[in-house]
Amino acid sequence: MTPSSRVQRPRLESGGTNSPRKKAIRPVPRQRTSTVFLVGFMGAGKTTVGRALAAQLGWRFVDLDDHIEARQKRSIAEIFRESGEIEFRRAEATELRNLLAGLPVTGAAVVALGGGAFVQKENARLLKAASAPVIFLDAPVHELWQRTQQSDAQRPLVNAENQFRQLYEMRRQRYMKAEHRLETSGKTVEQVVGEITERLGLSGQPATGREVT
């Protein structure tokens, strides 16, 4: 156990009969956060940062899109192509509900949501009700675009750059409703992980490293 995660013991009052009654010092409560949600636009680094954060905390990493693909036995691109975006959003909302319902038994987790999940009002409402921290990973849109161009991931909503920019502008206000916003531009994955653990008061290990991609 690291010193910062240790619960402080209350100091015992030595008290003779004449000593004034002092208020007992309350122990600092143990950090109760056991799920962290990462949201943001495509290319924000949700999966990369999520994996690194989970590894550092010794928590499970969950990628909601992976759950959707496993349940549907087809890729996100196939779901979009064969059934359309509305069906994908329905599957995404169902998977988020299932995940939230299972969290008390599945244990501590870092969860990366697909870029459109937090934009859906009902999903945002569910996350708020779950009272787990939601972190918006942000970066300038030109950088997000570049990251998607350098990635092998098949993203059905990545077509022309101007459409990508428009979608980002439309969604940004929703992302801004997240409890925390972290700028990732020019930072290493480990720096971002460090900022998250610090912001949330979660104990972490020192790190070195590679840039958010």
List, in order, residues 6 or more apart from 80 with CB less than 8 Å away: 88, 156
Question: Which one among 36, 52, 76, 99 touches ligand S3P, defined by CB under 6 A?
Answer: 76
Contacts 24+ apart (CB under 8 A), 83-92: 85/156, 89/116, 89/120, 92/64, 92/68, 92/116, 92/117, 92/120, 92/123
Question: Which one among 156, 177, 179, 207 touches ligand S3P, defined by CB under 6 A?
Answer: 156
Q: DSSP secondary-structure letter at 131?
A: T
Site for ligand S3P in 30-49 (CB under 6 A): 42, 46
* CB nearer to ligand S3P: pick between 46 and 187: 46
Question: Which one among 60, 74, 155, 177 touches ligand S3P, defined by CB under 6 A?
Answer: 155
- Burial string for 109-126 (b: 16+ CB within 10 Å, else e) reads bbbbbbbbbbbbeebbeb
* CB nearer to ligand S3P: pick between 138 and 204: 138
CA atoms within 13 A on the CB side of 121: 0
CA–chain centroid gap for 5, Å, is 21
**Least spacing, CB of residue 107 vs ligand S3P, in Å:** 23
Region binding ligand S3P by CB under 6 A among candidate stretches 12-20, 54-62, 152-160, 180-188? 152-160
**Least spacing, CB of residue 116 vs ligand S3P, in Å:** 3
108 contacts ligand S3P (rule: CB under 6 A) = no
Q: Six-digit token pair at 190?
A: 């480990």
132 contacts ligand S3P (rule: CB under 6 A) = no
**Least spacing, CB of residue 208 vs ligand S3P, in Å:** 25
* CB nearer to ligand S3P: pick between 56 and 123: 123
Question: Which one among 48, 54, 65, 69 touches ligand S3P, defined by CB under 6 A?
Answer: 65
* CB nearer to ligand S3P: pick between 115 and 194: 115
The angle at the Cα of 23, spanning 19 to 24, to the nearest 5 degrees, equals 105
Task: Write out 106-125 in H/E/C secondary structure.
Answer: HCCEEEECCCCCCCCHHHHH
Query: Which residues of this chain interact with ligand S3P, rule CB under 6 A?
Result: 42, 46, 65, 76, 114-116, 155-157
